[in-house]
A and B are shown apart, each in its own frame.
Chain A
């Protein structure tokens, strides 16, 4: 009886960063058994905030916590011959390895896909990098802002006359992680029939690019290049200030332009000068003024349900604490609580989507550094206590 959709899948998560950790966490969330393998000093993510009560302790990174839920954890120094030998003993026991090193690094240690697939032909290795495994930029270094820039999205973010704008947070990293989990899950299904694994080459920049449907296709279809919004007279369709925050309205959906005029209590919107897209662009500054004036005394929380009555495409800018207290997320059971050995009981964003037969389960917190070393090395690989101690002394684990 399987209780998780991916139950029975064994994963080694060698990643230090956000994308790889998120990918492996998603596999764990839906049933895979995931072992986080970190260098003896801990994954880089352990040094990234926010921290629990702002205490920069390696077991108190909240970022590390949310991206490594449901995993076991061990340390292993891949730069030692002994460590490399241990990874080669672990590789035949697993179905998936997730890694995010610079292309070629694992090969240089004798731990690349070719090396490990010889030991385990059904192994799938998911490699997530800024630009992919091959190509002229493959050795170049990525960062969030670089991924957004080269993935086209910055070319249409922000306003004309100013510099292009990146997304907040680490969206590109999360996207890389989710996309990688998706291709990994498809490869795992495929290997049910072929018995063969894959080396999956995920490019984070291409993940961003692949979302730019209108931007990419516009050029080969009609020779145009998409643009950022105009600096003035283009607020409609973007966050607009109201009494207690910001709201956003999009035309389309189930509401007509007349409905929008009624919703905003703005009969002027029905004048000829706002009749179509071109005229609304020409007279954008007037349109912005009229609409923003009409909402400056109104609350986003009053407008939100009202807009739904009009079947409008409507949003309000929510803050993180508003999201933490959101009744919709509560009804979806999005947040769960878990006991962490160092931080105690914490509430975490947990469930990405619902599966009816094999529901999401939060079974373990993120591992503390080296938490499961004994289970992996002594119980699993059968090193005796003396050898286990030596591995520690030699900085292998």
Chain B
């Protein structure tokens, strides 16, 4: 087996929800030993199935906290240690772990690690070359919002994303999932690779201070420049493009099925007219050049929608791409499990849970990249709550049995969360009725070959 880049790197991952937990999962794929640390009364909220996570067969059941879909995707391949960081004994054990680790990741609001004397200056005293990765909503420091609570779904508005997203005839909109979380995920991986290389060459650690807000704003750089230099506020474009026309998302055959396409040149426009069987449009002055097509975009949208509505979305993609025009169907969470390209690339990996977990086998997303010389895969599902307590404390820190038992008795460590409830499950049919779910396939396990 080729050597994975992070072999031999131990990471204490005291992070919650999406952004850094997902970074930790990817770092496990890359070969690191990642130890997820949670408090006895503070299981990761993704363990509750919150934020649209799913339980197997929609049933929370026994040990529900080890089962949710998003929890297992985000925390794949990690170990789990449950430790009460609110208690000085818990923090002492954490310090002992820091002394034998390479990296600490945390996403508490800025004051928490300081209050615990676990901020970067203090961690350095324990392990001089430690690398600390912090992710917060607005960043450390003395800025006016630094202490504000934050989460990606609402930050999408604050960092400017909603201003540029939305239908042309409607207000600012959120786009899909908790977008900015993942900018922190990948910023953390990028920064950590650089920091590890630096440590390898100089023997020095580093504090990586990531702010989701700042990352989100960075992704609007051209709008910021336009505002700064030209005094322009940008704004919503719907599904259109500043330079290409027509571009849009059009109905395809079937219920709620859609195809996108984007025409960038006059030649592409002429090809599209031929495909639509509307050669006369190619010489129609209303659409003759890019400026005219932008001007008469609404009319074009109607013409294209009429053509696409009677054909399957995949068939349309092959046709339109065959003519050299960018196009693709709107794929749903179901579609990608059956799409030949996703399948060919092995983007979805089958993860077999240990039998005692009662989860069976499921598909989880791997990585959006491949290394030619170093194949990777998901090492396993997310760990059970406290799965590696004994390994971490008795083996790694060499606690004796009596001390370990004492910690259990006082719930400094545990394998059962002392608080938290599974988020309520709604009958899928009812969810479809209320418009909270698009569709439900009762035979999904058969379709996926998982039974």
Nearest CB of B to A143, in Å: 4
Q: A214-B52, A239-B172, A246-B171 are in contact. Are A349 and B217 (CB under 8 A)?
A: yes
CA distance A246 to B73 in the complex (A): 33
CA distance A25 to B193 in the complex (A): 16
CB under 8 Å from chain A, chain B span 136-185: 138-151, 153-167, 171-177, 179, 181-183
CB pair A136–B439 under 8 Å, yes or no, is: no
In the complex the two chains form, is B176's CB within 8 Å of A179's CB? no
Interface segment out of the listed B53-61, B89-97, B408-416: B53-61
CB of B3 within 8 Å of the partner chain = yes
Query: B260: which of A31, A149, A182 is its contact (CB, 8 Å)?
Result: A149
Instruction: Say yes or no for A323: interface residue by CB 8 A criterion.
Output: yes
Contact of A334 among B217, B264, B373, B430 (CB under 8 A): B217
Nearest-neighbor residue (CB-CB) of B167 within chain A: A165
Are A352 and B333 in contact, with the CB atoms below 8 A?
Answer: no
Asked if B153 and A250 sit within 8 Å, CB to CB, the answer is yes
User: A50-B230, A210-B367, A254-B149 in contact; A216/B336 too (CB < 8 A)?
Assistant: yes
Does B334 sit at the interface, judged by CB under 8 A?
yes
A303-334 vs B, Cβ < 8 Å mask (1 yes, 0 no)? 00000100111111111110110111111101
List of A residues within 8 angstroms of B363 by Cβ: 216, 220
Contact A186 B193 (CB under 8 A): yes
Write the chain B residue with the least CB distance to A254: B149
Instruction: Pick from B157, B167, B189, B317: contact of A186, CB below 8 A.
Output: B189
Question: B445: which A residues are within 8 A, CB to CB?
Answer: 223
* A169 and B173 within 8 A (CB): no
Can you report 30 residue pairs joining A to B where beta carbons are below 8 Å apart?
A: A48-B243, A157-B176, A164-B330, A178-B183, A178-B187, A179-B186, A181-B186, A185-B193, A189-B6, A189-B200, A198-B372, A213-B365, A214-B53, A217-B333, A219-B444, A220-B450, A222-B57, A223-B441, A223-B445, A237-B153, A246-B157, A308-B145, A318-B163, A320-B234, A323-B217, A328-B146, A331-B142, A332-B211, A352-B215, A354-B208
Q: Check if B147 sits within 8 Å of A189, measured CB to CB.
A: no
Query: Are A224 and B54 within 8 A (Cβ)?
Result: yes
Task: Name the segment of B221-229, B270-278, B384-392 touching the other chain.
Answer: B221-229
B206 pairs with A169, CB closer than 8 A: no
Chain B residues contacting A381 (CB-CB under 8 Å) are none
B249 pairs with A216, CB closer than 8 A:
no
CA distance A352 to B265 in the complex (A): 35
Task: Decide yes or no whether A190 CB sits under 8 A from chain B.
Answer: yes
Contacting pair A190 B5 (CB below 8 A):
yes
| Contact with A331, one of B58, B143, B149, B186 (Cβ below 8 angstroms) | B143
Interface string of B290-333 (1 = CB under 8 A from A): 00000000000000000000000000010001001111111111
B residues near A50, Cβ cutoff 8 Å: 222, 225-226, 229-230, 232
Q: Identify B224's interface contact among A138, A142, A201, A320, CB under 8 A.
A: A320
Taking CB atoms and an 8 Å cut-off, the chain A residues in 180-204 that contact chain B are: 180-190, 192-194, 196-203
Contact indicator A196/B373 (Cβ below 8 Å): yes
Give the nearest-CB partner of A191 in chain B: B5
Is B269 part of the contact surface with A, judged by Cβ < 8 Å? no
A52 within 8 A of B: yes
A261: chain B residues at CB < 8 Å are none
Chain B proximity of A335: nearest CB distance (Å): 8
Size of B's binding interface in residues, CB under 8 A:
183
Known: A241-B171, A315-B156. A215 touches B333 (CB 8 A): yes
Q: Which residues of B contact A324 (CB under 8 A)?
A: 224, 227-228
What's the dominant secondary structure at chain B's contact region? mixed
Flag if B163 contacts A317 (CB, 8 Å): yes
Known: A152-B331, A175-B183, A227-B438. A182 touches B193 (CB 8 A): yes
For the complex, is B401 an interface residue (Cβ under 8 Å from A)? Answer: no
Known: A143-B247, A168-B161. 18 other contacts (CB 8 A): A5-B194, A132-B370, A169-B161, A169-B165, A171-B179, A182-B193, A189-B5, A190-B374, A200-B369, A209-B336, A220-B448, A239-B173, A282-B434, A320-B163, A320-B232, A334-B218, A355-B208, A355-B209
CA distance A227 to B242 in the complex (A): 28
Whether the pair A357, B205 counts as a contact (CB closer than 8 A) is yes
CB-based nearest A residue for B435: A230
| A225 and B437 contact, CB distance less than 8 A | yes
Shortest Cβ distance from residue B196 to the other chain A in the assembled complex, whole angstroms: 5
Taking the nearest CB of chain A, how far is it from the CB of B247, in angstroms?
6
A356 interface neighbour in B120, B176, B220, B344, Cβ under 8 Å: B120
B436 within 8 A of A: yes
Chain A residues in 8 Å Cβ range of B341: 131, 135-138
Contact of A226 among B52, B154, B448 (CB under 8 A): B52
Q: Does A75 contact B (CB under 8 A)?
A: no
Q: B219 in the interface, Cβ–Cβ < 8 Å? A: yes
Query: In the complex, what residues of B have CB within 8 A of residue A203's CB?
Result: 345, 368-369
Interface residue from B225, B336, B372 paired with A113 (Cβ < 8 Å): B372
